[in-house]
């Protein structure tokens, strides 16, 4: 039966649409963690797909790796870098830890003697210190159990995201064509060209991020060697690699470098602290905006704002994908919202 009142039918359709939109937003909110993993995996698949395609075109004699084997280059490369780092970096650290454990009994009396000369040390109640230590250890054990559960969940999300990234690289074309099939032929072609331009710019973001990692790794290694900090080369390589994680990566590197420098002298601690204080300012205000602007074509202010928004929305993962997401948004806005005839 056809409704005789078109206005009432239109109003009813609007109500159904608003209700369906509200339900969709509610379901998206409930599944926000899963949607973030899917989005980040798809985004990294788009970024790393050109590398996989380049590897699949390499020909050795008559043999050419197909796409499935080319995808394995990513995990094999990560595992290879981790093994090389552990092979060269861990033996000196383990050797020093063994030496420290052997010398600890002999150093303990000297440490206690120094402690006794600290002003007001005679007023410290050993029983009170022992009680506080016991309380701290009990709380630390509880926190450790909770942290293990949280870290296990994060590790599961990382593994899931990595597997999804591989699947998106292998079967992403089918999902992409299925997504475009929801649009009309004219709109489909326009959206396809827009997303292809965004893909090219996202690939350039990877080169820019690699440049930042290389700059930090080389400069930190030079500073560590100049200051004669232990494990200078290992710390420099780790600093460069962890720079892929915004904010937290730098925080971990600063804490680790300061801890290692404190083993030998406070002067080295001061030197490392000054270096990081200067470099982080230079990177955030000069290097990141300049390099990313030349690679992805975004203003420096837009990059900084994207980093802030990404870290606020999804923490470390949000900061990692903030710049390529900003590239995607910029392409869509430029294509569909900017009135080019007026400019």
Query: pLDDT for 130-146, tens place per residue?
Result: 566 566 656 655 666 66
Do 226 and 165 sit in the same domain of this protein? no
Name the β-bridge partners of 60. Answer: 63
- Which residue segment(s) compose the domain that 167 sits in? 33-57+65-103+129-182
Label residue 3 by pLDDT band (50, 70, 90).
low
What six digits make up the tokens of 175? 């999902």
Do 308 and 203 sit in the same domain of this protein? yes
What pLDDT score was predicted for residue 109? 65
Handedness of CA 309, 314, 317, 321 (dihedral sign): negative
Whether residue 28 lies inside any domain: the answer is no
What mean pLDDT is predicted for residues 67-94? Answer: 75
- Long-range Cβ contacts of 155-159 (<8 Å, 24+ apart): 157/33, 157/37
What pLDDT score was predicted for residue 283? 81
Whether residue 97 lies inside any domain: the answer is yes
Angle at 150 between CA 148 and CA 156, to 5 degrees: 100
Map residue 186 onto helix, strand or coil. helix
Whether residue 228 lies inside any domain: the answer is yes
Whether residue 8 lies inside any domain: the answer is no
Do 37 and 177 sit in the same domain of this protein? yes
Do 162 and 255 sit in the same domain of this protein? no
What is the number of domains present in the chain? 2
More confident residue, 98 or 324: 324
Rounded Cα distance between 233 and 236, Å, is 5
* Residue whose entry in the numeric block shows the structure tokens 């296990």: 152
Do 164 and 51 sit in the same domain of this protein? yes
What pLDDT score was predicted for residue 233? 85
Do 190 and 317 sit in the same domain of this protein? yes
Whether residue 229 lies inside any domain: the answer is yes
pLDDT at 183 over 80: yes
49, with CB counted inside 10 A (0-12, 13-18, 19+), is: buried
Q: Please give the share of the chain, as a percent, with pLDDT higher than 70.
A: 76
Q: What is the pLDDT of residues 155-171, one digit of tens each?
A: 788 888 888 888 888 88
Kindly list the distances between the CA atom of residue 131 and the CA atoms of 126, 140, 142, 153, 270, in Å, as whole numbers in the listed order.
9, 14, 17, 34, 34
Whether residue 21 lies inside any domain: the answer is no
Do 321 and 198 sit in the same domain of this protein? yes
> DSSP character for 182?
T
pLDDT at 177 over 70: yes
Q: Average the pLDDT over each of 75-89, 122-136, 202-216, 222-236 and give the range with the smallest value.
A: 122-136
Q: Which of 143, 164, 182 corresponds to the end of one domain?
A: 182
Do 177 and 202 sit in the same domain of this protein? no
What pLDDT score was predicted for residue 141? 58
Do 193 and 99 sit in the same domain of this protein? no
Q: Which of 150, 167, 182 corresponds to the end of one domain?
A: 182
Do 234 and 286 meet the contact criterion of CB atoms below 8 Å apart?
A: no
Rounded Cα distance between 238 and 236, Å, is 5
Residues in the chain: 343
Task: Please tell me which of 83-97, 236-250, 263-277, 326-340 the model is most confident about, judged by mean pLDDT.
Answer: 263-277
Q: Please give the share of the chain, as a percent, with pLDDT higher than 90.
A: 3
What pLDDT score was predicted for residue 226? 92
Residue 100 CA, chain-centre distance (Å), reads 34
Q: What is the pLDDT of residues 21-36, one digit of tens each?
A: 888 888 888 888 888 8
Label residue 304 by pLDDT band (50, 70, 90).
confident
Whether residue 4 lies inside any domain: the answer is no
Map residue 60 onto helix, strand or coil. strand
What pLDDT score was predicted for residue 133? 55
Q: Which of 149, 182, 215 corresponds to the end of one domain?
A: 182
Do 205 and 170 sit in the same domain of this protein? no
Whether residue 138 lies inside any domain: the answer is yes
Least Cα distance to 334 among 160, 128, 190, 140 occurs for 190
């Amino acid at each position: 039966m056809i409704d005789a009142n078109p206005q009432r039918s239109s109003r009813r359709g609007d109500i159904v649409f608003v209700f369906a939109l509200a339900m969709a937003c509610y379901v998206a909110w409930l599944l926000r963690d899963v949607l973030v993993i899917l989005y980040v995996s798809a985004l990294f698949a788009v970024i790393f797909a050109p590398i996989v395609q380049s590897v699949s075109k390499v020909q050795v004699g008559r043999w050419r790796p197909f796409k499935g084997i080319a995808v394995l280059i990513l995990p094999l490369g990560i595992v290879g870098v981790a093994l090389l780092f552990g092979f060269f970096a861990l033996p000196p650290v383990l050797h020093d830890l063994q030496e420290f454990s052997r010398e600890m009994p002999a150093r303990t009396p000297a440490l206690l003697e120094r402690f006794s000369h600290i002003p007001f040390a005679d007023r410290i109640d050993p029983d009170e210190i022992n009680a506080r230590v016991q309380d701290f250890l009990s709380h630390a054990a509880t926190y450790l159990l909770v942290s293990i559960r949280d870290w296990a969940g994060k590790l599961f999300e990382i593994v899931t995201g990595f597997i999804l990234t591989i699947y998106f690289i292998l079967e992403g074309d089918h999902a992409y064509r299925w997504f475009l099939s929801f649009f009309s032929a004219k709109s489909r072609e326009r959206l396809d060209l827009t997303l292809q331009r965004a893909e090219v710019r996202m690939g350039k973001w990877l080169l820019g991020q690699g440049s930042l990692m290389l700059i930090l790794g080389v400069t930190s290694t030079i500073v560590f060697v100049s200051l004669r900090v232990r494990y200078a080369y290992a710390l420099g390589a780790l600093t460069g690699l962890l720079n892929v994680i915004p904010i937290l990566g730098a925080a971990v590197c600063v804490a680790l470098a300061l801890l290692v420098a404190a083993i030998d002298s406070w002067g080295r601690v001061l030197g490392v602290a000054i270096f990081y204080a200067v470099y982080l300012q230079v990177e955030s205000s000069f290097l990141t905006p300049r390099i990313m602007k030349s690679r992805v074509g975004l203003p420096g202010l837009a990059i900084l704002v994207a980093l802030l928004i990404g870290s606020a929305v999804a923490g470390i993962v949000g900061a990692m994908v903030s710049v390529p997401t900003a590239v995607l948004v910029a392409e869509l806005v430029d294509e569909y919202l900017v009135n080019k005839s007026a400019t």
